[in-house]
A and B are shown apart, each in its own frame.
Chain A
Amino acid sequence: MELPLLDRVQEDGDVFHLTTATSKASSIATLDDAPASAVSFCGVSTQGRVPPAPGPGEQYRFHFDMTKCIGCKCCIVACNEQNGNPAEILWRRVGEIEGGVYPQTHRHYLSMGCNHCLEPTCLTGCPVDAFTKDDVTGIVRHSADACIGCQYCTWNCSYGVPQYNPERGVVGKCDMCYGRLERGQEPACAAACPEEAIRIEVVNVAEWRENYQASANSPGMPSADDSISTTRITLPAKMHADVSKVDLSQLCPEQAHWPLIVMTVLTQLSVGAFTSIWILQASGVQSHRTAALVALLVAMLALTASTLHLGRPIHAARALKMWRRSWLSREVLLFTLFALAASAYSASLWLGVRGAGWLGALTAILGICGVGVSAKLYLVPGRPAWNSPLTIAEFWSTAALLGACGANILTHAAADARYAVLWGFALALMTAGLKLVRLARSRVHELHSSWQLLMMVFSNHLLLRFLLPVVGLVLLPLGDLAWIRIAVALFMIAGEFVGRYLFFVTVVPTNMASGYLAQEAA
């Protein structure tokens, strides 16, 4: 009997044959020479499976054999059992990649913990030096005690490896089961794998730095260039060129980070306001001690809000520690100096200290630099939508627009102030517009997804982001009334808040492939 429908299957014809890749020869220590250990994990003897400790110029790394992985996810469960993590946190993840045309379909799995990179971006960004790259093993370790829960590492790692644990207020990550390796025991994931797709190897660091591109990259993974991942991946010998992440069509908004929205917009408001106050004072128009006090309060509110972002606000001061290396430390440092200068400047205005104009200038300069540095910390390869000078322009334009609104209020809508608002508005709009153009035109998956999020999930927010300042602009000519001038400012502030909200929720981080279904129920 004829099965007409099934004939359509035939369109693409034949069967395909898969040949297993022979693993590439590499300068790795043979596991058979390893010291014996009687201890087992999940019942599996790890005897002879842990290579000897790396020598000088060497480190441990993972080897993942994609030709062996069957996507069973034993490694994930074993990792969570090993580390006592709740189900929301997965230090090891398994992603799916797929390509080809039925029945020559190729589907493969990627299992990944931490890649223990040669240039770990989690480490370089950390403001409190909670990460260390172990001298002997090369394992990138994280200290929960040192961590303040700022989560900057979760943005810096292009693989999404460090994960924040809200129960603890700190991040955590795969440490290759450092404690087990130290005792000659195999890491949990490797021990649990029924196909022996995950193993520990020793790698020569200098050699790897030379030739990592050949075997550190894989479809479904961010480029190993970002941080020089050390994980060696054995790919199937034949793989369709179109094999890619199965989650490409997933649209998942990121967290809003409300304390950061409040912190960035309000610091920019305060910096803009102080700059206006100083310009007005310097140009001899008048001195605004009440306005300075309000702007100072706003700055204090912003800085207080920022600590609420931390998992461990009580240790906020530690964030200053790594100012030589971390942009986050530098931001904290500059805003602290700005707050001190602004306090001194405000005090001078209240006390009527003459010749304190330089304090105003200092406040403005520190503030403007602070806003720039604040923006700079968002320029990370792991967050492509942020990783552009437009982010700096966006932050500065917010300060300019809101500062101009402040001047508009203080000068009773003087013509210059109105023009300033107009210019600020134009600047803010242009930045926002350019960002949209950048996202819309990009072929980079993460940027395109940001664009789709804006168009499909957050289209109403986006509309509001433009509508609010337009309303403010329409009211601008009616600025003779004090409450109208305040309303203009409030509309502009509201517009910037919506814009900043979108900034956070529509960024699509680079990451390894995930499963097809989003983790949260749709």
Chain B
Amino acid sequence: MKVARWLARKSGLDIRSSKYSYSDDPVLGFTSSRKHADHWVNSTCGYCSVGCGMQLGVKDGHVVSVRGNPDHPVNVGKLCPKGLAEHYAIEAEGRAKYPLLRKNGSLTRVSWNEAFDTMVEQFRAVQKKYGRESLGVISTGQLVTEEFYALGKLVQLGLGTRNYDGNTTLCMSTAVAGYKRSFGSDGPPGAYEDLEHADLILLIGANVAENHPILCTRLEENKGKTLIVVDPRVTKTAMMADIYLPVKPRSDLALINAMLRIVIDEELYDKNFVAAHTTGYEELCLSLAPYTLGFAAQITGLDPELIRKTALLYANAKAAFIGWTMGVNHSTKGTETVNAINNLALITGNIGRRGASPFSITGQCNAMGTREAGFASGIPGYRKFDNEMDRAEIARLWNVPVERIPGQRGLAYPDIIEGAVAGKIRALWVIGTNPLVSFPNIDVLKHALENLDFLVVQDGFHPTPTTELADLVLPAAIWGEKEGTYTNSERRVSKVNAAVRPPGESRADFDIFLAVAERLGCKDELFPGWNEPYDAFEEWRRVSAGRLCDYSGMTYEQLEECGGIQWPHPQGTDLTASASRRLYSDGIFETEDGRARLLPTQWAPFPEQPSSEFPLILNTGRTVEHWHTRTKTGAISILQRMSPRAWLEMNPKDARQLDLQAHDHVEVISPRGRVSRVELRVTEIVGPGQVFLPFHFAETNANQITQSAFDPISREPNYKQCSVRVERSSSSPT
């Protein structure tokens, strides 16, 4: 039979016509028959924070296709290439299916019982020996809000350690810190709709065309806008700009301060708004003294007239929108830069209005969820550790003694790693993240992990560079296999649903957290009567009631109906669920006095300046086909086909000087290490003196060379600039 089939194939009798047949589908239309589903499950994309509504087509227990949800307010049916291929992640190679425990040096399959028992036993032993805070927990922005809410309680109250943070510190903590300092609370104030209504859009260090392509639809629809893009690299987004400002790396803060000074000097600011809704105007003015046009031109490399023109365009706009992402956040000056952006928006009154917002475009699908409901850098509901009333309120809501609510946050992600290097952190629980690829200056991290007594890694995939080092691997369900909610960049809460069962014995993170609580003996106290994410959501609604991120008016049913609701959505609100919401429309901010703070900021050069030994500035970033550390997208053949490996962008002038040719394999060397055999792209996309390396690829890991420099306020790494040199790799392949 087999031989007959082989012969039929080889001879050309059988051309697999049925596999390649097409037919009509009521949902998809006329398509490949293999993509037709029995039923469709509504959900939300699990990659980035744009938060596109999706539908998963299920047939015989497999997700055979995905499509954008045509009724979802965010994407109206469109998806980016990662989203269009997202169903392949579910059955990708390398899914973690069974708990694995390191025995005699190798990871061995064990039962969940043994896994949980060992984990709790080891954590307790370490905590007994070295103190409760010797346990660290690092989570992610990829879980559902219900899981973040449960995990925060479990870690802070159940495990009793404050040393809990998320990988969100690697991307969004700067925006969080900046918002908190300026407005008294985290929370991007605007809505995506603003992109359609702003007459001026200023994108700073935000390559939305590459990283958030579905937002570009709205830019395209806004025909009357002027789009200004500030970026040292001629990105795809820069190509969309009406005015492109090729700033020198890390000079954005000087640019914004110069703009502020012009707006103030030329009295173009909104005097009424400043007087009524802000504090700190005088100090701000004083701090701007050095930022003359000449000074800013020297720092940024821009023509002074152009800086002035940009400032005037911004100040005179009816509604001006500033969007930023990692170009701002990945910096030791990130928080101050966010504050400068907020200053600019505040003094011109460009906040809380249609089209006007200082808007941080978030990274991961549910980074927002962990910011709202997590218990790492704040108490759930944007409550503050150092606010006695907040602590008392949460203790009352949770029915626990107020003493158990910490009065201070624990270590941030980089400090947990440094704690492990110093031997203060002895056990670590890593959830849904792959620091071996994503953490800066990777050798420090390796050293930290080697120092641990016990490392638990909970992930949907195994092996990953991080699970390979684990003492215990907990296999988790991923997107498409579990239920809950995500919050996107515009504070829109959307429902996430399970379409299929997780593979093997893997379990939803939510179930894992409850099981750990059970083992710790704190389930009934922390999670009374909880069985499913719905129970967590209902408690979270009560806990968030009255807060800025008020969920109390939302129900799962409503979320399913509307395809997402923006918070705040308090119970009994007059606004319909689908209405667009903006924060601070009333001019009242979350500070004690209700006024936003204008904060002085000072530009400084990035920490590692180029030298004769390391003369080039390395910039890192992303490509549209891949997601972060490529755990999922690297296993999806169509995405791999479109972007198979890393490359290094270098200006032709530098290439000539170094006698390097296009497609040469090169070493990128920093004071900390090297990236080997990366393919050179000689291109005018980057300026002379700069090189660019995408960070997704474990094989040529940019974090071998990035530095351990962190924003002093947000603790976010300075991924964007470090000094390197580039050499031809010794053995060129033939």
The stretch from B8-16, B354-362, B435-443, B515-523 touching chain A is B8-16
The answer on a CB contact under 8 Å between B663 and A522 is yes
Q: Say yes or no for B615: interface residue by CB 8 A criterion.
A: yes
The stretch from A101-109, A348-356, A379-387, A389-397 touching chain B is A101-109
Residue from A90, A103, A169, A315 in contact with B641 in the complex, judged by beta carbons closer than 8 Å: A90
User: CB-nearest residue of chain B relative to A191?
Assistant: B77
Q: How far is the CB of B51 from chain A (nearest CB, A)?
A: 15
Known: A11-B688, A169-B9. A18 touches B241 (CB 8 A): yes
Total count of chain B residues near the partner, CB < 8 A = 99
The answer on a CB contact under 8 Å between B306 and A148 is no
Q: How far is the CA of A251 from the CA of B662 in the complex (A)?
A: 11
The answer on a CB contact under 8 Å between B624 and A310 is no
The stretch from A2-10, A52-60, A261-269, A421-429 touching chain B is A2-10
Q: How far is the CB of B683 from chain A (nearest CB, A)?
A: 6
User: CB-nearest residue of chain A relative to B220?
Assistant: A195
Known: A100-B684, A519-B644. A183 touches B242 (CB 8 A): no
User: CB-nearest residue of chain A relative to B82?
Assistant: A77
Q: Say yes or no for A167: interface residue by CB 8 A criterion.
A: yes
**Beta-carbon contacts of B54-89 to A below 8 Å, as 1s and 0s?**
110000000001011110000011111100110000
User: CB-nearest residue of chain B relative to A100?
Assistant: B684
The answer on a CB contact under 8 Å between A3 and B605 is yes
Q: How far is the CA of A10 from the CA of B687 in the complex (A)?
A: 9
Q: Say yes or no for B22: interface residue by CB 8 A criterion.
A: yes
Contact residues in A for B689 (Cβ distance below 8 Å): 5-6, 8-9
Q: How far is the CA of A250 from the CA of B661 in the complex (A)?
A: 11
Q: Say yes or no for B213: interface residue by CB 8 A criterion.
A: yes
Q: How far is the CA of A140 from the CA of B33 in the complex (A)?
A: 22
Q: How far is the CB of B416 from chain A (nearest CB, A)?
A: 32
**Beta-carbon contacts of B125-146 to A below 8 Å, as 1s and 0s?**
0000000000000000000000
User: CB-nearest residue of chain A relative to B231?
Assistant: A103
Q: Say yes or no for A444: interface residue by CB 8 A criterion.
A: no
Contact residues in B for A182 (Cβ distance below 8 Å): 30
Total count of chain A residues near the partner, CB < 8 A = 90
Known: A102-B686, A194-B213. A183 touches B30 (CB 8 A): yes
The answer on a CB contact under 8 Å between B29 and A180 is yes
Contact residues in A for B11 (Cβ distance below 8 Å): 312-314
Contact residues in B for A474 (Cβ distance below 8 Å): none
User: CB-nearest residue of chain B relative to A184?
Assistant: B29
Q: How far is the CA of A144 from the CA of B20 in the complex (A)?
A: 10
Q: How far is the CB of B722 from chain A (nearest CB, A)?
A: 13
The answer on a CB contact under 8 Å between B685 and A98 is yes
Known: A3-B609, A73-B81, A77-B81. A194 touches B687 (CB 8 A): no
The answer on a CB contact under 8 Å between B15 and A145 is yes
Most chain B Cβ neighbours within 10 Å, of A9, A107, A108, A195? A9
Residue from B68, B306, B642, B645 in contact with A42 in the complex, judged by beta carbons closer than 8 Å: B68
**Beta-carbon contacts of B610-623 to A below 8 Å, as 1s and 0s?**
10000111000000
The answer on a CB contact under 8 Å between A168 and B687 is no
The answer on a CB contact under 8 Å between B663 and A195 is no
Q: Say yes or no for A472: interface residue by CB 8 A criterion.
A: no
Most chain A Cβ neighbours within 10 Å, of B249, B643, B644, B647? B644
Known: A5-B615, A10-B301. A168 touches B16 (CB 8 A): yes
Q: Say yes or no for A26: interface residue by CB 8 A criterion.
A: no
**Beta-carbon contacts of B643-659 to A below 8 Å, as 1s and 0s?**
11101000101000000
Q: How far is the CA of A467 from the CA of B217 in the complex (A)?
A: 61
Q: How far is the CA of A457 from the CA of B732 in the complex (A)?
A: 12
Most chain A Cβ neighbours within 10 Å, of B29, B35, B77, B615? B29
A-B contact count (CB 8 A): 261
Q: Say yes or no for A87: interface residue by CB 8 A criterion.
A: yes
The answer on a CB contact under 8 Å between A15 and B306 is yes
The answer on a CB contact under 8 Å between A103 and B246 is yes
The answer on a CB contact under 8 Å between B79 and A192 is yes
**Beta-carbon contacts of A230-271 to B below 8 Å, as 1s and 0s?**
000000000000000010011100000000000000000000
The answer on a CB contact under 8 Å between B22 and A15 is no
Q: Say yes or no for B675: interface residue by CB 8 A criterion.
A: no
Q: How far is the CA of A192 from the CA of B220 in the complex (A)?
A: 15
**Beta-carbon contacts of A327-343 to B below 8 Å, as 1s and 0s?**
00000000000000000
Residue from B77, B610, B615, B687 in contact with A43 in the complex, judged by beta carbons closer than 8 Å: B77
Q: Say yes or no for B312: interface residue by CB 8 A criterion.
A: no
Q: How far is the CA of A251 from the CA of B663 in the complex (A)?
A: 9
Q: How far is the CA of A180 from the CA of B31 in the complex (A)?
A: 8
The answer on a CB contact under 8 Å between B15 and A169 is yes
Contact residues in A for B220 (Cβ distance below 8 Å): 68, 194-196
Q: How far is the CA of A16 from the CA of B665 in the complex (A)?
A: 32
Q: How far is the CB of B660 from chain A (nearest CB, A)?
A: 12
Q: How far is the CB of A186 from chain B (nearest CB, A)?
A: 9
Q: How far is the CA of A515 from the CA of B77 in the complex (A)?
A: 27
Residue from A19, A82, A86, A169 in contact with B12 in the complex, judged by beta carbons closer than 8 Å: A169
User: CB-nearest residue of chain A relative to B84?
Assistant: A77
**Beta-carbon contacts of A295-312 to B below 8 Å, as 1s and 0s?**
000000000000000111
Q: Say yes or no for A221: interface residue by CB 8 A criterion.
A: no
Contact residues in B for A457 (Cβ distance below 8 Å): 734
Q: How far is the CB of A393 from chain B (nearest CB, A)?
A: 31
Q: How far is the CA of A49 from the CA of B565 in the complex (A)?
A: 30
The answer on a CB contact under 8 Å between B70 and A192 is no
Q: Say yes or no for B317: interface residue by CB 8 A criterion.
A: no
The answer on a CB contact under 8 Å between B617 and A5 is yes
Q: How far is the CB of B731 from chain A (nearest CB, A)?
A: 13
Q: How far is the CA of A68 from the CA of B220 in the complex (A)?
A: 8
Interface residues of B in 680-696 (CB under 8 A from A): 681-690
**Beta-carbon contacts of A76-87 to B below 8 Å, as 1s and 0s?**
111011111011
Contact residues in A for B243 (Cβ distance below 8 Å): 15, 17
Q: How far is the CA of A18 from the CA of B234 in the complex (A)?
A: 13
The answer on a CB contact under 8 Å between A80 and B638 is yes
Q: Say yes or no for A516: interface residue by CB 8 A criterion.
A: yes
Q: Say yes or no for A177: interface residue by CB 8 A criterion.
A: yes
**Beta-carbon contacts of A344-375 to B below 8 Å, as 1s and 0s?**
00000000000000000000000000000000
The answer on a CB contact under 8 Å between A9 and B301 is yes
Q: How far is the CA of A154 from the CA of B306 in the complex (A)?
A: 51
Interface residues of A in 98-122 (CB under 8 A from B): 98-103, 105-108
The answer on a CB contact under 8 Å between A168 and B15 is yes
**Beta-carbon contacts of B254-279 to A below 8 Å, as 1s and 0s?**
00000000000000000000000000
The answer on a CB contact under 8 Å between A18 and B242 is yes
Interface residues of B in 528-586 (CB under 8 A from A): none
Most chain A Cβ neighbours within 10 Å, of B20, B24, B690? B20
Q: How far is the CA of A152 from the CA of B195 in the complex (A)?
A: 50
Contact residues in A for B637 (Cβ distance below 8 Å): 86-87
The answer on a CB contact under 8 Å between A15 and B302 is yes
Q: Say yes or no for A479: interface residue by CB 8 A criterion.
A: no
Known: A15-B246, A84-B19. A98 touches B213 (CB 8 A): no
The answer on a CB contact under 8 Å between B234 and A107 is yes
Q: Say yes or no for A45: interface residue by CB 8 A criterion.
A: yes
Q: How far is the CA of A521 from the CA of B679 in the complex (A)?
A: 10
Residue from B35, B81, B609, B645 in contact with A517 in the complex, judged by beta carbons closer than 8 Å: B645
Q: List 26 A-B residue pairs with CB atoms under 8 Å apart, sorted by A's residue number.
A: A11-B688, A14-B303, A15-B306, A17-B242, A40-B67, A41-B28, A43-B54, A43-B70, A43-B77, A45-B77, A71-B209, A72-B216, A76-B638, A82-B31, A87-B637, A100-B684, A102-B688, A107-B685, A168-B16, A183-B30, A188-B31, A194-B80, A249-B662, A312-B13, A515-B642, A521-B644
Known: A74-B79, A77-B638, A107-B239. 15 other contacts (CB 8 A): A6-B689, A14-B303, A42-B68, A70-B239, A77-B84, A83-B32, A84-B32, A87-B637, A102-B685, A105-B234, A107-B236, A195-B216, A313-B12, A457-B734, A520-B644
- B interface with A by C-beta (< 8 Å): 9-13, 15-17, 19-20, 22, 24, 26-35, 54-55, 65, 67-70, 76-81, 84-85, 209, 213-214, 216-217, 220, 234, 236-237, 239-246, 248-249, 299, 301-303, 306, 604-605, 609-610, 615-617, 624-625, 637-645, 647, 651, 653, 661-663, 665, 679, 681-690, 733-734
